[in-house]
């Protein structure tokens, strides 16, 4: 396929997503199934264009004066991918699979349209209007910068599995992907994001991956797990284990010592956790499946050194990877997540022993899910005190966390940590350490 056909396909997929409001991955998959002539390079280019549109939907619409799938895809091709307008004109004229010829208005907007200076911050920073006041609270006058960074493409980060390999060894095998060491994580490797229609490197077909030498995991997620492990501990519960991303990172950080109980209230979320554990060489993980009418963690009550709460959240820190989720997120979903977070935190309390800790993590940048959730928890749970997440960051990375990543709660000692694409070049993460003092 040529560029024209790919842009037409992106318009079709964007129209499908707009009509059906289904996840973009499903729409892309269906498009692939019904257009078997498209090769993997075509599918990848079409996916890249669709995702780039969704990342920058509000600002591209402001440039074009229209938010139609066609206007957005054309704008992304020209403004984000650097295609020039006259070459699109020529391309569209000669390719029967290309979209209809450009109109005069489109040519003008594509060549010289801009986001109006008086456009609201949510348009400039490409985030949903209903979250404007939340994100203002989080970032103040840096909100557009943070929004723009959350609308960029994400690099691919790998966590070297120190149970089986070493960073230099893994790095040496990934030369061809321009892999470099991560800035903060001592076990992180970064494969820089590709531009335009290029295909990102596929690491999961790599032999080193199959041998368990590394996992794909954002650097922010690696740091959150390493920070959780800083206090050590023999009895650990990963209370929201999901598919085990943090569980495996903890297992390696603890050097396969102690015992990690991985639990999730939804057993379907475990996914392929057993295969991943097997591949990783971890021997200190036990899965605890939820059972109806049975407290499967009851025997661990009051015994844990660490309860990791990788809380269910809006995922607003991962919008670079899931830009359609940014626009599908609704206020009702945030309310549900807030209640779930409070419930998981309260459940964690009974599991921690005095002198132990809860580490609360979200991959969100919204203060409701982060500082406000911790503030409310500490107010209703006097047996806990806020720990020093910034000091833990230093212990893990050997570097001070950038000033703006360190959050304080009014009138309390300790610190919480906020990672963002703009500040740390990672996904958006929040980490609070809650020490049980009584
Ligand atoms: C952010 S995800 C976990 C991701 C996982 N830790 C990882 O690193 O791959 C949050 C998980 O919390 C689970 N969850 C939600 N409410 C819960 C509850 N009350 N108790 C335990 N798990 C819960 C969800 O099923 C979901 O799998």
Mutate to test the pocket of ligand 1, among 240, 289, 291, 316 (most ligand atoms within 8 A of CB): 240
Phi/psi of residue 75, nearest 5 degrees: -65, -40
Around 257, how many Cα atoms within 13 Å sit in the side-chain half-sphere? 7
Answer whether 297 contacts ligand 1 (Cβ < 6 A): no
Ligand 1 atom nearest 239 alpha carbon: 21
pLDDT digits (tens, 9 = 90+) for 161-213: 999 999 999 999 998 899 999 999 999 999 999 888 887 777 988 999 999 99
Please name the residue whose Cα sits nearest to atom 4 of ligand 1.
242
Answer whether 242 contacts ligand 1 (Cβ < 6 A): yes
Q: Does the predicted TM-score (pTM) go above 0.95?
A: yes
d(Cα 119, Cα 110) in Å, to the nearest integer?
A: 18
Ligand 1 atom nearest 243 alpha carbon: 9
| Cβ atoms 361, 427 nearer than 8 A | no
CATH tag for 219-436 (out of 3.40.50.1100, 3.40.50.720, 3.40.50.150, 3.30.930.20): 3.40.50.150
Residue 310 annotated as lining a ligand binding site: yes
> For residue 361, how far is its CA from the centre of ligand 1 (angstroms)?
11
Retrieve residue 262's tokens. 């991985």
> Domain coordinates of the chain in residue numbers?
3-112, 156-216, 219-436
CA angle, 428 then 429 then 431, to 5°: 160
| Cβ atoms 432, 416 nearer than 8 A | yes
Give pairs for 84-89: CB < 8 Å, separation 24+.
Answer: 85/110, 85/111, 88/3, 88/4, 88/7
Q: Is CATH 3.30.70.1170 correct for 156-216? A: yes
Asked if the domains at 156-216 and 219-436 fall in one CATH topology, the answer is no
Residue 264 annotated as lining a ligand binding site: yes
Reading the chain (438 residues) residue by residue, the pLDDT tens digits are 888 999 999 999 999 999 998 999 999 999 999 998 888 899 999 999 999 999 999 999 999 999 999 999 999 999 999 999 999 989 998 888 899 999 999 999 999 999 999 999 999 999 999 999 999 999 999 999 999 999 999 999 999 999 999 999 999 999 889 999 999 999 999 999 988 888 777 798 899 999 999 999 999 999 999 999 999 889 999 999 999 999 999 999 999 999 999 999 999 999 999 999 999 999 999 999 999 999 999 999 999 999 999 999 999 999 999 999 999 999 999 999 999 999 999 999 999 999 999 999 999 999 999 999 999 999 999 999 999 999 999 999 999 999 999 999 988 899 999 999 999 999 999 999 999 999
> For residue 76, how far is its CA from the centre of ligand 1 (angstroms)?
35
pLDDT digits (tens, 9 = 90+) for 304-335: 999 999 999 999 999 999 999 999 999 999 99
Please name the residue whose Cα sits nearest to atom 11 of ligand 1.
240
Supply the residues annotated as catalytic. 363
Among candidates 353, 339, 342, 420, which has minimal Cα distance to 375? 342
pLDDT digits (tens, 9 = 90+) for 271-303: 999 999 999 999 999 999 999 999 999 999 999
Ligand 1 atom nearest 363 alpha carbon: 1
Answer whether 340 contacts ligand 1 (Cβ < 6 A): yes
ipTM: 0.99
């Amino acid at each position: 396929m040529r560029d024209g056909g790919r842009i037409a396909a992106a318009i079709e997929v964007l129209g499908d997503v707009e009509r059906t409001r289904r996840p973009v991955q499903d729409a892309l998959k269906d498009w692939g199934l019904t257009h078997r002539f498209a090769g993997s390079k075509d599918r990848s280019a079409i996916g890249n264009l669709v995702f780039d549109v969704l990342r920058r939907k509000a600002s591209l619409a402001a440039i074009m004066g229209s938010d139609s799938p066609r206007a957005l895809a054309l704008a992304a091709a020209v403004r984000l991918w650097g295609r020039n307008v006259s070459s699109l004109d020529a391309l569209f004229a000669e390719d029967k699979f290309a979209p209809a010829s450009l109109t005069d208005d489109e040519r003008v907007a594509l060549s010289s349209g801009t986001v109006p200076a008086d456009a609201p911050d949510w348009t400039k920073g490409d985030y949903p209007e209903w979250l404007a006041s939340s994100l203002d609270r989080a970032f103040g006058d840096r909100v557009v910068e943070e929004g723009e960074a959350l609308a960029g493409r994400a690099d691919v980060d790998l966590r070297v599995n120190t149970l089986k390999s070493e960073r230099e060894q893994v790095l040496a095998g990934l030369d061809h992907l321009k892999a470099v060491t991560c800035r903060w994580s001592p076990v992180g490797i970064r494969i820089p994001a590709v531009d335009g229609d290029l295909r990102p490197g596929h690491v999961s077909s790599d032999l080193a991956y199959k041998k368990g030498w590394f996992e794909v995991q954002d650097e922010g997620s690696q740091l959150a797990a390493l920070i959780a492990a800083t206090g050590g501990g023999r009895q650990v519960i990963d209370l929201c284990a999901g598919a085990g991303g943090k569980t495996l990172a903890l297992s390696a950080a603890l050097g396969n010592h102690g015992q990690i109980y991985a639990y999730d209230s939804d057993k379907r979320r475990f996914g392929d956790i057993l295969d991943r554990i097997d591949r990783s060489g971890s021997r200190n993980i036990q899965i605890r499946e939820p059972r109806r009418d049975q407290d499967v963690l009851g025997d661990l009550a009051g015994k844990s050194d660490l309860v990791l709460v990788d809380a269910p959240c809006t995922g607003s820190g991962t919008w670079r990877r899931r830009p359609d989720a940014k626009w599908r997120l609704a206020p009702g979903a945030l309310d549900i997540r807030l209640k779930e977070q409070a419930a998981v935190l309260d459940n964690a309390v009974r599991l921690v022993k005095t002198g132990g800790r809860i580490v609360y993590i979200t991959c969100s940048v919204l203060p409701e899910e982060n500082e406000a959730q911790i503030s409310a928890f500490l107010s209703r749970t006097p047996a806990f005190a806020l720990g020093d997440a910034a000091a833990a960051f230093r212990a893990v990375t050997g570097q001070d966390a950038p000033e703006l990543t360190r959050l304080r709660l009014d009138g309390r000692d300790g610190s919480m940590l906020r990672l963002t694409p703009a500040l740390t070049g990672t996904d958006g993460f929040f980490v609070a350490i809650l020490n049980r003092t009584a």
